[in-house]
Amino acid sequence: MKRILVPTDFSKHADYALKVAAQIAKNNDGEIFLLHMLELPSAGNDALSRAHDIPELMFFKNAAVAKLDEIMNSNFLDGVKISKIIQFEMAFDGIIKNGETHNIDLIVMGSHGASGFQEMFIGSNTEKVVRNSNVPVLVIKREESNFSAEKFVFASDFSDEIKKPFEKVVDFVNKFKSHLYLVNINTPNNFKSTKVAQKQMDEFVSEFKINNFSTHIYNDVNVEKGILHFAKSIDADIIGMSTHGRKGLSHFFNGSISEDLVNHAKRPVITFKI
């Protein structure tokens, strides 16, 4: 986790994310890329060609530069290598592109979550990034003065398709010296006996070198509630999930447990794309 991208809209939730990113960077000798996107008007890039729009755009850019410079002088960033990036682009597109351009290892984003119609029809940039990013995305909801990943919950069905993203999970927990709680959520619609579920987890985990872990089977009415309730029962520091990155109708009808958790969990959530 050497190269960390932190998108900011100057909100308090973005500040929460940056403070966590600073802690991670200090502990891993990493660097932060602080990104602010100036979204163009609906007319698109043509707006740049209009002479009467240029002064307004430059005003907002200069204001953003000043604000980023102010943030970069914060005490909590002392000793952290940090670069600022300002671009005229839609936020989601800019975040994904910069992640690729700068060979980012981790994206840290703030989110206040969403509910009801806002969640269903509008969504958020954080949700879109979680769905599409090829690198892990850590979502922060609240002030985390002493960010810890000591108790890391990873919920999964432990199928073969999870093995590839799970390599990044193992890398994360070993670097953070976490205790990894592997949990299989049993639901009425997808029930497995304890014997079957335990065997599947044991076979899955035997292929990886994890420094500190335990396996658990937890029963609940659905997967999301099971993860949240299990995390609460052990006072977890962070929840990890794999995400399919579903799009279009598939995403609308099937949803994504990872995105639901990003919206509803108060604890930090980190996602790893399958």
Task: Round to whole Å and give the CA distance between 256 and 250.
Answer: 10
Task: Round to whole Å and give the CA distance between 211 and 168.
Answer: 14
pLDDT greater than 70 at residue 117: no
Average pLDDT along the chain = 85
**Between 222 and 274, the higher pLDDT residue:** 222
Task: Round to whole Å and give the CA distance between 160 and 56.
Answer: 52
Strand partners, 36: 86
pLDDT, tens digit (0-9, with 9 covering 90-100), for 60-90: 788 888 999 999 999 999 999 999 999 888 8
User: pTM here?
Assistant: 0.86
pLDDT, tens digit (0-9, with 9 covering 90-100), for 223-268: 999 999 999 999 999 999 888 765 544 433 344 677 777 777 889 9
With bands split at pLDDT 50, 70 and 90, how would you rate the model's confidence at 112? confident
Helix (H) or strand (E) holding 149: none
* Per-residue confidence (pLDDT) for residue 18, from 0 to 100: 96
**Between 259 and 191, the higher pLDDT residue:** 191
Q: Looking at residues 195-200, what average pLDDT do you find?
A: 95
Q: Which domains does the chain have, with CATH numbers?
A: 3-140 (3.40.50.620), 151-273 (3.40.50.620)
Contact 199, 163 (CB under 8 A): no
* Per-residue confidence (pLDDT) for residue 251, from 0 to 100: 38
* Per-residue confidence (pLDDT) for residue 59, from 0 to 100: 78
* Per-residue confidence (pLDDT) for residue 85, from 0 to 100: 93
